[in-house]
Amino acid sequence: MEVVAYGVLADEEPLLREAFDTAFAGRHELRCLGMFLDRDTAPTAAGDEVVLSSVNDTLDAEVLRSLAKGGTRMIAQRSTGYNNVDLDTARELGLTVARVSYYSPYSVAEFAWALALAVNRRIVRAAHRTREFDFRLDGLMGRDLRGRTAGVVGTGKIGTAFARIAHGFGMRLLGWDIAEDPDCLALGMEYVPRERLFAEADLVSLHVPLLPATYHLVDTEALALMKDDAILINSSRGGLVDTDALLETLRAGRLTGVGLDVYEEEAGVFFLDKSLEVMTDERLARLTTFSNVLVTSHQAYFTRDAVGQIARTTVANVEDYLAGRSGDNVLVTPGTP
């Protein structure tokens, strides 16, 4: 049997192949494709029972019907998030859909802090200057984080790891989530209403999944509550932030810094080389013009530890499917209501 994987990055492929070969030892073949899965590329999966998808693949009703028509019976998503998969249509078609429910939370938490420190201390601007032998310090002044307030929006595994690092900096901790985490409480975190968190935090970091209830969680009202010199970090999902509202806030000269590893319209842009093309997404182009904004290309998870764990879990999900087993990573199975 051949398994096809879409949106495979160059540094990811060796780890994915290693996990696949270890599990199946030549009994099955893996075809890795760099292109993303969408309505145009779905026919290339014809004859493949199992498809390994990436977070920026499009698995809407049209794509899923095309895959099912070509013989696909299982979708293994190589990420925790699955908002790009139409689960209702997958259920209707009798497909099995699984995801990676857990991987190293430290990869994302540490990168979120890298963004926070970079925008606070103007690291990118400083590096650009020194490459041109401009060693002035004008405009590079940051501030100590010790004694200031970190607002952690979402205190799951990643949010908790972020909070531990904030505690290490000596920061006061505010949290917002549907349930209080014992580990965060042990760090001295105070759980407060969302509005109070936005109003009091010097640094706000987002660590909640993208759901209808969290779409544009950071909107005009939330941004208006934030301090003029606050820092906003998003390493979770782009749709959590209303980009238009953020642009208006930045145009008004508010917020000390913004670090974005995700963007709500990143599909078809992130992970690709667009350097020789005209950037037609005016909002993304505008974001990158602000000197206090740092945008990276959804790389927070991208460590050898995390990607290796994602690869092994994805392959284990395929093993379970072929053996007729179901586990905590399965989102949809044939016959589920």
Q: Tens of pLDDT along 142-184?
A: 999 999 999 999 999 999 999 999 999 999 999 999 999 999 9
pLDDT tens for each residue of 27-83: 999 999 999 999 999 999 999 999 999 988 999 999 999 999 999 999 999 998 898
Q: What is the DSSP letter of 250?
A: H
Catalytic (active-site) positions: 237, 266, 298
Cβ(74)–Cβ(49) below 8 Å: yes
Contacts of 327 (CB under 8 A, 6+ apart): 98, 317, 320
Residues of the chain with pLDDT under 50: none
* pLDDT score of 267: 83
Cβ(287)–Cβ(243) below 8 Å: yes
What is the spatial distance between Cα 229 and Cα 275, in angstroms, rounded to a whole number? 32
Q: What sign does the CA torsion over 14, 16, 17, 22 have?
A: positive
Task: Supply the pTM of this predicted model.
Answer: 0.91
* pLDDT score of 337: 67
Burial class (CB in 10 A: 0-12, 13-18, 19+), 131: exposed
Burial class (CB in 10 A: 0-12, 13-18, 19+), 294: buried
* pLDDT score of 81: 85
* pLDDT score of 160: 98
Coil, strand or helix at 111: helix
